[in-house]
Amino acid sequence: MQSYRKLLPSASALFVFEAAGRHENFTRAAAELGMTQAAVSYAVRTLEAQLGVPLFNRSHRAVELTEAGARFHADVSAGLARIQKSAEAMRVKGRETNVTLSASTAFASMWMLPRIPKLREDLPDIDLRIQTSVRDLDLEEEGIPLGIRGGDPSGWPEYHAALLAKEVVTAVASPAFIDQNGLPQSPSELARLRLIHLDEPVREACDWKEWFQSAGVSYQPHSRPLAINDYVLVIQAALAGQGVALGWQHLLESQLSSGALLPVTSHTYHTGGAFYVVWPRSRELSMPAQRVRDWLLAQGG
């Protein structure tokens, strides 16, 4: 197949023809393009020679597009308009400094907010906007470039997905609760303590039954368990000494490292799942969004 360069007229000739055809006046086209009238006339004649057809009917003081010239002008104008629109969109995208990240409230408050000072230090020119929701948003429909999702990427064929953190769940409680109730010697003993349940409204999440099953323990909840539908509040209840909570390790790094929360057994459940940074396959990420994505992945290790 021949290259476009051999098949198509030069870009400059097309620009001249578009202006000349729009004005149907070589002098006005020359003034718009910053050329002489003679240069416009020469460019049009050269284009006609390349195409093998006349594009203008010429009279003493006027020019008019021929039938073939009018058809060609419509195509050239449409093509140049699309190129202009695409170029402008890329220029706008290159100037954008706002990046929106969709995430759960738990991820936003427990993973992201502690890292905001680091983000500002590393990416001082980017304004990150975090949009939280009880469900995973449709990033394409919402016009959001980046999101955090837990689960299996094979279920999201419309997204690229990059691993942020594996899903590792342990049982945690405050030092005050442990002082009052002691450390259980096994997961089965833990089942007799006061447990805080996450009643997740939309997203699927590991629960106590699944966690105990991973430890080889059959678990039946108490008749009146403490159940909360917001994971941030679950952890606030655990910090307040109200019971033992399931702790997703990637969310509780600061609480575990500071000793505000402590593991209550040696059993840790590796679910086989993970959390990912996702972005739509349907559109290219802006440069700022790419930088935020890469920063998130670096933070996740």
Class of domain 96-301: alpha beta
Q: 136 with 203: CB under 8 angstroms? A: yes
Note the pLDDT of residue 1: 42
Residues 81-133: tens digit of each pLDDT: 888 887 766 665 555 579 999 999 999 999 999 999 999 999 999 999 999 98
Task: Say whether pLDDT at 224 is over 80.
Answer: no
Task: Say whether pLDDT at 254 is over 80.
Answer: yes
Note the pLDDT of residue 9: 72
Note the pLDDT of residue 73: 95
Residues 155-195: tens digit of each pLDDT: 999 999 999 999 999 999 999 999 999 999 899 999 989 99
User: What is the spatial distance between Cα 47 and Cα 208, in angstroms, rounded to a whole number?
Assistant: 76
Expressed in angstroms, the distance from the first to the final Cα of the chain is: 47
Mean pLDDT for 140-161 is 94
Residue spans per domain, the chain: 4-94, 96-301
Nearest residue to 125 (alpha-carbon basis) of 100, 99, 89, 102:
99
Q: 173 with 253: CB under 8 angstroms? A: no
CATH architecture of 4-94: Orthogonal Bundle (1.10)
Note the pLDDT of residue 93: 58
Reduced to 3 states, what is the DSSP secondary structure of residue 64?
strand
Classify strands 98-103 and 226-228 as parallel, antiparallel or unpaired: unpaired
